[in-house]
Structure 1
Amino acid sequence: MTDRRPLVAGNWKMNGLSAAAAELDALAKALADRPAPACDVMIAPPFTLLAPFVAAASGTPIAIGGQDCSHLEPGAHTGDIAAVMLRDIGATSVIVGHSERRQDHHETDDLVRLKAEAAHEAGLVAIVCIGETEPERDRDQTLNVVTTQLAGSVPDAATADNTIIAYEPVWAIGTGRTPTAADVATVHGTIREVLVERFGEDIGNGLRILYGGSVKPANAGELMAVANVDGALVGGASLKAADFDGIIDAYR
């Protein structure tokens, strides 16, 4: 499969005040001044910055996404954000099932699937995150965890147009540790096999699979060259335009 367009997505997590818009401007300038990368680019800022980032990214190749959404429709749900609200403000995608949501807020596979379905109904692309913890890795349960999360978290209506899978080994997020290229190839290859078996050749081979977990400019080239790696979901390194553009360099 050669026509899956890679995506380099930045997850800003709970970081960024209004002054951080300067980094978005710097990234847009870098993308304009250098050869266009052969990938899509997206940033998911905190909710407080969504509106100004959508406005600032207008006319640039940078898409803006949300970091989470509720599975519920708008209503009496204090503190929640409906998927349709993200779409209304100009977001094009939303991250669901990130390990920090699964751990800090005890989100289950069923809830993640419901959030992805809500994203689809709102016209958003759902970036569904999966990945094993360090204890699970040490018990050699990586592939079992990943396949179980895939089965429970990805909606039956997933297509290449409305869903992206992001594999993030939890033990590698923000730690500076990364699995070997061979490890990533094994997991991404298994994910691809599971997707093809469930959805058929066309959809299964069309769905993009991102890698996340301590992706940096220094290792992006090697990781992005691995079979079935269709881009990256980047955390800390996406906060600075120079670092994030250095990761995008893997596709220049």
Structure 2
Amino acid sequence: MGRQFFVGGNFKMNGSIKAIKDIINNLNNAKIDPNVEVVISPPAIYLLLAREHLRKEIEVAAQNVFDRPDGAFTGEISVAQLQDSGITWAILGHSERRTILQEDNSFVASKTKAALDGGLGVILCCGESLDQRESGTTVEVVTNQLKAVAEQVKDWSKIVVAYEPIWAIGTGKVATTEQAQEVHAAIREWLKKEVSPEASANTRILYGGSVNDKNCKELAKQPDIDGFLVGGASLKPAFVDIINSKV
């Protein structure tokens, strides 16, 4: 069995009750490739709305989770609260949180461990800036982000890695097919050496960064690209075309 194709939709801080319901209605009525694992991630305030109205085979992810149990942590959401609400995934390490909120590699790793220990799946984001890309340190930057997680987590069976070059997120720029495949292959090789051959063979590595219905089919053909983490395009009906990009 090969790795199951995976498509996540990160709504970021977008949406309203009506907009989220419209997106869900479109997904509920769409013909979706049954071989693809699909997860959507609305803002926290709409997680329960999404879970209550979405067809069961599509899962829901939080855009963040805290690394401590319930307690005096104003504004945070615990792993147990997500589990209690039927939320099965969390997106962690997204570059917007790394850069805007200054979340460092060790904090991302700590949250990843907490989520996994509590039974959630983790979409673990990694990626480099334009300066890092141009200086030739892409692989070093990305694997350092993953290394911090590997120092705390041994079982990667519920981790999906999402490679998202920061310079391509929301900019309309997309890494070329060759650039994306090259980094995905490097991540897989790193997993083989630093985690285990099994983790390398089984871990799904997604591409994210201005993925849309026009470029997804070519990217999906690459041997080490196992799906997508989609931003703005996940808010549009064309998200279904991205989900079905392997058909």
Greater shift after overlay, 169-178 or 198-207? 198-207
Would the aligned equivalents of 1:69 and 1:115 in 2 still touch at CA under 8 Å?
A: yes
Q: Which of residues 232, 240, 246 in structure 2 aligns to 1:245?
A: 240
| Matched letter for residue 28 of structure 2 | A
Change (3 A) 1:95 1:35: closer
Residue 139 of structure 2: aligned partner: 143
| Matched letter for residue 23 of structure 2 | E
Would the aligned equivalents of 2:89 and 2:120 in 1 still touch at CA under 8 Å?
A: yes
Would the aligned equivalents of 1:128 and 1:153 in 2 still touch at CA under 8 Å?
A: no
User: How many percent of aligned residue pairs carry the same amino acid?
Assistant: 38
Q: Using the TM superposition, give the Cα deviation of residue 35 of structure 1 relative to its aligned residue in structure 2, in angstroms.
A: 5.8
Residue 6 of structure 2: aligned partner: 7
Residue 38 of structure 1: aligned partner: 35
Residue 49 of structure 1: aligned partner: 46
| Matched letter for residue 73 of structure 2 | H
TM-score computed with the length of structure 1 as normaliser: 0.94
Residue 81 of structure 1: aligned partner: 77
* Residues 108-152 of structure 1, C-alpha deviations (whole Å, 9 max, x = no match): 110000000111121100111000011111111111111111101
Residue 157 of structure 1: aligned partner: 154
Q: Using the TM superposition, give the Cα deviation of residue 11 of structure 1 relative to its aligned residue in structure 2, in angstroms.
A: 0.3
Residue 200 of structure 1: aligned partner: 196
Report the aligned-residue RMSD.
1.2
Ranges in structure 1 where 5+ consecutive residues have no aligned partner? none
Secondary structure of residue in 2 paired with 1:182: helix
Secondary structure of residue in 2 paired with 1:217: coil
Would the aligned equivalents of 1:172 and 1:178 in 2 still touch at CA under 8 Å?
A: yes
Mapping of residues 107-146 of structure 1, within 5 Å:
107-146=103-142
| Matched letter for residue 55 of structure 1 | E
Aligned length: 245
* Structure 1 runs, 4 residues or longer, greater than 3 Å off: none
Residue 18 of structure 1: aligned partner: 17
| Matched letter for residue 51 of structure 1 | L
TM-score computed with the length of structure 2 as normaliser: 0.96
